[in-house]
Structure 1
Amino acid sequence: MATVAELREKLRRPLSAELASGCQNRVVAGGVEKLLASPLGNPFPQVREALRGYGEWSADAREEALKGALALLSDGKEKPAAVKATSRSAVPAAAPGERLPPDAPVERLNTGPGGARKLQSLGLPLLRDVLHAYPHRHEDRRALPDLAEVEEGQKITVEGRVVAKSRRSPRPGMLVIDVTLETPAGGRVKATWFNQPWVEKQLREGARLVLTGRVKKFGRSVQLGVEHLETVDGAQDSLSTGRIVGVYDTREGISQEFLRRAAHRALETVPLDDYLPAHWRRQYGLTDLGDALWGMHFPQDEQHLSRASARLRFDEYLFLELRMLLQGEDAVLEGKRFNARSDDIHTFESALPFRFTNAQRRVLLEITDDMRSDRQMARLVQGDVGSGKTAVAACALYLAVRDGYQGALMAPTEILARQHYANLLAYLGPLDVRVGLLIGAMTPKTKLEMQARIAEGSVDVVVGTQALIQENVRFDNLGLAVVDEEHRFGVQQRRKLLSGRPDVLVMSATPIPRSLALTAYGDLELSIIDELPPGRTPVETKLIQDTFRAQAYGFVMGQIREGRQAFVVTSLIEESDTLELLAATQLADDLKVILPEARIDLLHGKMTAAEKDFVMESFRRREFDILVSTTVIEVGVDVPNATVMVIENAERFGLSQLHQLRGRVGRGSAKSYCVLVAGEHSQKTRKRLKIIEGSTDGFVIAEADLKLRGPGELRGTRQSGIPDLRLADLANDTQIIEQARELAKHILAHDPKLEHPRLQYLRSELQNRSQSVAFREVI
């Protein structure tokens, strides 16, 4: 049996965690009072009394009470009367007509008994939270449908009064509640609930309801399978009928009408001062904040809702861009100032076996403009596989070396680092640039020798993996850092490389839509190489059903007999009962039976990095014919002799991922092919996969993927702490994002710390929207 001391410690830990988390009453399931009502709280009546009513208090009152309770637990003394009185003091509600600041606690809003607790349970402790808890959709209830004209299966919303109610049990364990609703126009609709006894108390005769559901027609009578129920009071100016009505995210026990009433009272109580000066609103065609918030919660018409949405979406992007630009120590740093002479660019290009494309020249011009400025370059270069990003980066590195600086290129894997090393040797070696390699697989002696050369400046450009950011790596004079596939590095890892404030060039072969790039990489300028070099033959793509799989592998064998190689990709390592996918291991065994002439090997995510590198290098050296793999080869080395990519169960992948996988072939001069094998035969699947079959433009495919699947996680580890985009439509908001980014850059260029008196409200709003304390300290 636990001792009192052990019970005291068990109680102390969750209460300490609640205090550390900001007293939001969320650490303990059910809240602090439920914890104290459990047997764990029985031995400590003083603590239970000190925290009685905790859920109704403001955060300040909770904090003081928790400190007193923890003091009781630590030394067993009675709680001082003064603390007890303070902790239990009620937060006064606003007087009629009293105006409240947006950071006032919701206890001050007149929302009825238990109203504050309801709002807090939804994560809305402050009035500003209520104002910005936007509806997730809107319903037009100005003219509800004529019941005589509704169609079978149509989803409708109706309003009326309950004129009859019955309950029945067609079979044991089943409860059916039927209600007849009479609409204002005199029509009648029968509404039905199955096994939902808790709704019955809302269905008394005479109650006024708003119901949403699917129509079932029986002759001239209409029945509704109810999906959503609202009760409406008798007020003439109801917030739930006769208008465009917002529908909010909620939970059981908290009605839509309550949330609308709370939003309405918050809008009436809080002065809606605008943090955007009028001249900026005019410049970007934005309505004022008050009009926008009223229009989002209670729009007068469609136009009001439209301009409200446009303003609030702009604000979301503006604060995201401001935060991204301010985030971290590389926000507005001075960088290196390079000469970046055009003669040197000409010298570099003259040594190439090809000429730059127009897109490469445009991006190189953007890079050199950055390099010539005093401000640290922070630029993302996006381009499809084969678009020539590495050649552009090599030219930038050459310009840095010509001005007496060192350059570095960091890749996420050793095999990619070796590939970049080989490419840079080819580009820069003939120009007398000394290129070095530093990776973990080197012997300790070789590593030490390379580290010494880096420190003394006898190597000009270093290519490596995370070995470049180890503590014992010191650059003599690092001027330009190129980071390949940046999203695969942690923030802290990258900053170690950038501690000397070099200019930064980030490369990505993952095409993402411009709107997504501008939000996910808001701290980077964006350059896009959207043109492939002449002479490159696009990969021919064919979509087939799995019933034609044998023919697909017959084609693969034909390519192998011509001396070519093939990738075969599936998405699981071992059999799964829930997903009917071919596992890589099983597939490899099956192919050895189907294609006995072919040499087959396997690559999967459970291998170590060294094992993966060994298999890929063996494949590149043509030691086997078919590489069966999971998606770990999505980003990998060039295998110019591989001309076929077969992707099993292609419907399980996103379009952008399929495009990345397809990019593993077509790296040489031979005609290449991608075969998409679909295990699902629906029209919807075929339509989606036809996009890949019909396009080789990664940016077109990424846009289509965004519209089909949504943005998902924007940028992995870099997204930590970034506020949600509640209203954003990244598939269609590119223009708004660009305008918001333009304004954010303008603001910070003139006032990097937002210190001007006219920007104090904007600064305050930015801090309030930033959940991270560490970020608030940046400004």
Structure 2
Amino acid sequence: MATVEELREKLRKPLELELAGGCQNRAVAGGMDRLLMNLARPFPKVREVLRDYAALDETGRADKLREALALLQPEPVTAAPARRAPARVAPPAPSADTQVPPDAPVDRVNFGPQGPKKLRGLGLHTLRDLLHAYPRRHEDRRALPNLVDVEDGQKVTVSGVVVSKNRRTPKPKMLILEVTLEDPYGQRVKCTWFNQPWAEKQLSVGSRLIVTGRAKRFGRSVQIGAEYFEREDDAEGSLSTARIVGVYEAQEGVSQDFLRKAAHTALTSVPLDDYLPGAWRRQYGLTDLADALWGMHFPTDEDHLTRARERLRFDEYLFLELRLLLQGEDGVLLGKRFLADGRDIERFEGSLPFQFTGAQRRVLHEVADDMRSEKQMARLVQGDVGSGKTAVAACALYLAVRDGYQGALMAPTEILARQHFKNLAGYLEPLGVRVGLLIGAMTPKQKAEMQATIANGLIDVVVGTQALIQESVRWANLGLAVIDEEHRFGVLQRRKLLADRPDVLVMSATPIPRSLALTAYGDLELSVIDELPPGRTPIETKLIQDTHRRQAYGFVMRQIREGRQAYVVTSLIEENENLELLAATQLADDLKVILPDARIDLLHGKMSAAEKDEVMDRFRRREFDVLVSTTVIEVGVDVPNATVMVIENAERFGLSQLHQLRGRVGRGSAQSYCVLIAGEHSQKTRKRLKIIEGSTDGFVIAEADLKLRGPGEIRGTRQSGLPDLQLGDIVNDVDVIEDARALAKHILAHDPKLEHPRLTYLRQELQARSAHVAIREVI
């Protein structure tokens, strides 16, 4: 939003131009009255001085202009008084006999002979679509500039009389129309139209035009590539000049003028009933829906546009959070109710060879509070590599078992499932908890025996892969389901495990910025383990150029001679398994030359899951020294003896992905290293990779990654259903997202199916905005 000083300066310039031009009432398209209606709104004394400007003679006008300019001098710095909100102008409402419902097709309203076809070509099929097709930007066309001040490339609106006209066809099928305008102060500007023959009849000498376009300076002269124009005698009441003007996404054959008129027609045809009751709007400081929609399409001033953006951005997040929270089959679900006794937490911690960190204790108490509630727990526990998520999950499983329930932990791969089984057995079996494993690699007999044990309740905690959700698995009393790296599973896969409505704990070692977690994982409460156990040695990270590769691999060889192992990861610009295999094979062959004494093996995308597991198992057993891979090495896999991670062409990875790769080392007690080899040497690339070199905090890195790449490219978020936002900015909107989420949770806690009469419009709006079939069924 513009500051008072910026607004003062915007108003001062046209007044000075008007005074310098002889007070002809032409410095502003539509005259001084239009300026007073728009740009002068925050300055009531100026508006009062200039109120009857058009009726005065030139001498009277000059006196009034000087008085107004004196009022616009910067005020001395004093304690700022409380700022009054500008008066709102009530938007025109459609009459009852012409009202059309928002879900009506665009054919129901008169948009001209080809209007509905044009709108449908832009994907706008209903009036609601049109109302929410917001301008992608806004231009201030309230005051016309002095051509002396126009900069090269600046978008400007100018006014003047056509003094000459020229028509050129430099080559076949190319028409150039050139018009010279003279503004009220005698300055001339050339305006150019390319291949717009329809405009020629309207560009007659002597006619008065208002032209908008991009300026090109040639010394002291200015040329404008015309994008929009209209005759000045048509400008009164124009939607495209003398105001803040919206610029829309369009395509060839659909003009901005048409889209503005279409938006205005929709706004005056549809009853803009607000789906947010007044109490909620007041609680969150939001304007009403009609004011917001008019302010987005046709703002009266900067304040109007700002409050419109704030309301409509809040709505985007509110409907996103409602959609996510309603993804369960019955809205707010009842789950199991555990005692989750604090003495059991103390007993579990007392059996550990270490103490919980403060962050682990805080998260564990959040989990225990959820388990005591009758509502089904749905919580995401985030934590960087080594922060102790598994120990927290193990304690939660222990609490479930102590209350007579079974627990499950589902991992995305068999090697991770076996690793979790080993860790949970170490945590829980000394406390009398029976831990079992169910994975696809087991024989049919082993699977049948484990399934019978689960069904009979003779096993307390079962660790497995998707084998846990096979139809043949029956639970005696499943109370808690822990899902590791949930974004690796589909929604339907997850729901099979949740059929008995256990409490759900999701673990992720992929640091996600809070704003993204609240949207990508909006159906889950969020806990963060943001503290590492004491005594961990940070991984040393070094960024080098590819011209120093041999030194990097010399260091790798020294680590191998000390009995250590190394990962080497390469990347491709194109995702192609054949090229991936070729690149990995080529890199492995190169390393056999560079590292002749090292034992080298390969992991690539064409391998089956079992083959990948077998390679990782051999690497863990130290049967070879260097693992070359082009795939993301499994999150959570422990190879404590691996102390070096070399990442070739590091610039091709996102920062969060680099951090995840780096986390494959540093699993043991020895100092570990990550070497980033950059094949591209630009300052921009170096600056980006320096972030990962200088920080080991996954959340700091994830925030930087989000700012650099945007939410759509962060790994795993597309699968979560996160939509493209028109107004929302996930990088900077944490407070707005949290407010919208709080309201969404409040609404559904009191009315899970939005059945109350006062939520009728909210329910209809959610159904209209949502493409998710399950939500339509829920509400």
Q: TM-score range by the shorter chain?
A: 0.7 to 0.9
Which sits farther off after the overlay, 684-693 or 328-337? 328-337
Cα 1:141/1:679, change in 2 over 3 Å? farther
What residue in structure 1 maps to residue 301 of structure 2? 301
- Counterpart code for 2:427: Y
What residue in structure 2 maps to residue 441 of structure 1? 441
CA distance in 2, matches of 1:427, 1:341: 18
- 1:728-762 deviation per Cα after TM superposition (whole angstroms, max 9, x unaligned): 10001110110011011111111111111111111
Matched position secondary structure for 1:712: helix
2:524 is the counterpart of 1:521: no
Matched position secondary structure for 1:646: strand
Which sits farther off after the overlay, 722-731 or 638-647? 722-731
What residue in structure 1 maps to residue 512 of structure 2? 512
CA distance in 1, matches of 2:456, 2:403: 17
CA distance in 1, matches of 2:96, 2:183: 34
What residue in structure 2 maps to residue 157 of structure 1? 156
Cα 1:646/1:237, change in 2 over 3 Å? same
Cα 1:553/1:273, change in 2 over 3 Å? same
Q: Aligned residues: percent identity? A: 74
Structure 2 gap ranges (5+) = 1-93
Matched position secondary structure for 1:583: helix
- Counterpart code for 2:123: G
Kept in 1: contact 2:581–2:604 (CA 8 A): no
TM-score by length of 2: 0.82
- Counterpart code for 1:202: A
Kept in 1: contact 2:640–2:666 (CA 8 A): yes
CA distance in 1, matches of 2:269, 2:539: 62
CA distance in 1, matches of 2:611, 2:187: 73
What residue in structure 2 maps to residue 230 of structure 1? 228
Cα 1:124/1:291, change in 2 over 3 Å? same
CA distance in 1, matches of 2:265, 2:542: 59
Residues 206-225 of structure 1 mapped to structure 2, 5 A cutoff: 206=204, 208=209, 210-213=211-214, 215-224=215-224
What residue in structure 2 maps to residue 315 of structure 1? 315
CA distance in 1, matches of 2:573, 2:142: 55
Kept in 1: contact 2:712–2:718 (CA 8 A): no
After TM superposition, give the deviation of residue 253 of structure 1 in Å: 0.6
CA distance in 1, matches of 2:182, 2:312: 36
Cα 1:182/1:719, change in 2 over 3 Å? farther
Cα 1:716/1:218, change in 2 over 3 Å? closer
- Counterpart code for 2:198: K
CA distance in 1, matches of 2:642, 2:620: 8
- 1:315-373 deviation per Cα after TM superposition (whole angstroms, max 9, x unaligned): 11111111111123263221111111111101110111111111111110110001011
Residues 172-187 of structure 1 mapped to structure 2, 5 A cutoff: 175=174, 177=176, 179-182=178-181, 184=183, 186-187=186-187
After TM superposition, give the deviation of residue 638 of structure 1 in Å: 1.0
What residue in structure 1 maps to residue 375 of structure 2? 375
- 1:574-619 deviation per Cα after TM superposition (whole angstroms, max 9, x unaligned): 999xx99992221111111111111111111121111111111111
Matched position secondary structure for 1:463: strand
What residue in structure 2 maps to residue 266 of structure 1? 266
Cα 1:134/1:122, change in 2 over 3 Å? same
Matched position secondary structure for 1:100: coil
What residue in structure 2 maps to residue 63 of structure 1? none
2:152 is the counterpart of 1:131: no
After TM superposition, give the deviation of residue 468 of structure 1 in Å: 0.5
What residue in structure 1 maps to residue 198 of structure 2? 201
CA distance in 2, matches of 1:440, 1:564: 32
What residue in structure 1 maps to residue 147 of structure 2? 147
After TM superposition, give the deviation of residue 143 of structure 1 in Å: 3.3
What residue in structure 1 maps to residue 587 of structure 2? 587
What residue in structure 2 maps to residue 763 of structure 1? 763
Cα 1:257/1:574, change in 2 over 3 Å? closer
Matched position secondary structure for 2:467: helix
What residue in structure 2 maps to residue 654 of structure 1? 654
- Counterpart code for 1:566: A
- 1:244-302 deviation per Cα after TM superposition (whole angstroms, max 9, x unaligned): 21111111111011000111121122222211111111110111111111111111222
Which sits farther off after the overlay, 739-748 or 564-573? 564-573
- Counterpart code for 2:278: A
Kept in 2: contact 1:545–1:679 (CA 8 A): yes
Kept in 2: contact 1:140–1:245 (CA 8 A): yes
Residues 341-356 of structure 1 mapped to structure 2, 5 A cutoff: 341-356=341-356
Cα 1:573/1:119, change in 2 over 3 Å? closer
What residue in structure 1 maps to residue 684 of structure 2? 684
Kept in 1: contact 2:581–2:606 (CA 8 A): no
After TM superposition, give the deviation of residue 187 of structure 1 in Å: 3.9
Kept in 2: contact 1:573–1:630 (CA 8 A): no
2:726 is the counterpart of 1:698: no
What residue in structure 1 maps to residue 424 of structure 2? 424
Kept in 1: contact 2:102–2:127 (CA 8 A): yes
What residue in structure 1 maps to residue 34 of structure 2? none
2:110 is the counterpart of 1:110: yes
After TM superposition, give the deviation of residue 724 of structure 1 in Å: 4.3
Residues 236-635 of structure 1 mapped to structure 2, 5 A cutoff: 236-329=236-329, 331-572=331-572, 583-633=583-633, 635=635
Matched position secondary structure for 1:479: strand
CA distance in 2, matches of 1:182, 1:570: 60
Cα 1:440/1:575, change in 2 over 3 Å? closer
Kept in 2: contact 1:571–1:581 (CA 8 A): no
Matched position secondary structure for 1:645: strand
What residue in structure 1 maps to residue 168 of structure 2? 167
- Counterpart code for 1:490: G
Please, what is the CA RMSD of the aligned residues?
A: 2.5
Kept in 2: contact 1:179–1:203 (CA 8 A): no
Number of aligned residue pairs: give it.
Answer: 675
What residue in structure 2 maps to residue 734 of structure 1? 734
Kept in 2: contact 1:655–1:701 (CA 8 A): yes
- Counterpart code for 1:167: R
- Counterpart code for 1:157: V
- 1:163-188 deviation per Cα after TM superposition (whole angstroms, max 9, x unaligned): 4334353xx77947363452745544
What residue in structure 2 maps to residue 665 of structure 1? 665
Kept in 2: contact 1:573–1:583 (CA 8 A): no
Matched position secondary structure for 1:601: strand
Matched position secondary structure for 1:483: strand
Kept in 2: contact 1:274–1:290 (CA 8 A): yes
Which sits farther off after the overlay, 485-494 or 141-150? 141-150
Structure 1 gap ranges (5+) = 1-93
CA distance in 2, matches of 1:688, 1:447: 48
Kept in 2: contact 1:723–1:770 (CA 8 A): no
Kept in 2: contact 1:202–1:231 (CA 8 A): no
Matched position secondary structure for 2:217: strand
After TM superposition, give the deviation of residue 235 of structure 1 in Å: 3.1
- Counterpart code for 1:731: V
- Counterpart code for 1:257: D
After TM superposition, give the deviation of residue 190 of structure 1 in Å: 4.1
CA distance in 2, matches of 1:639, 1:183: 77
Kept in 1: contact 2:580–2:605 (CA 8 A): no
What residue in structure 2 maps to residue 99 of structure 1? 99
Matched position secondary structure for 1:409: strand
Kept in 2: contact 1:440–1:467 (CA 8 A): yes
Which sits farther off after the overlay, 488-497 or 551-560? 551-560
- Counterpart code for 1:624: F
Kept in 2: contact 1:582–1:648 (CA 8 A): no
Matched position secondary structure for 2:712: coil
After TM superposition, give the deviation of residue 237 of structure 1 in Å: 2.0
- Counterpart code for 2:451: Q
After TM superposition, give the deviation of residue 98 of structure 1 in Å: 2.3
CA distance in 1, matches of 2:591, 2:449: 46
Matched position secondary structure for 1:688: helix
CA distance in 1, matches of 2:356, 2:261: 63
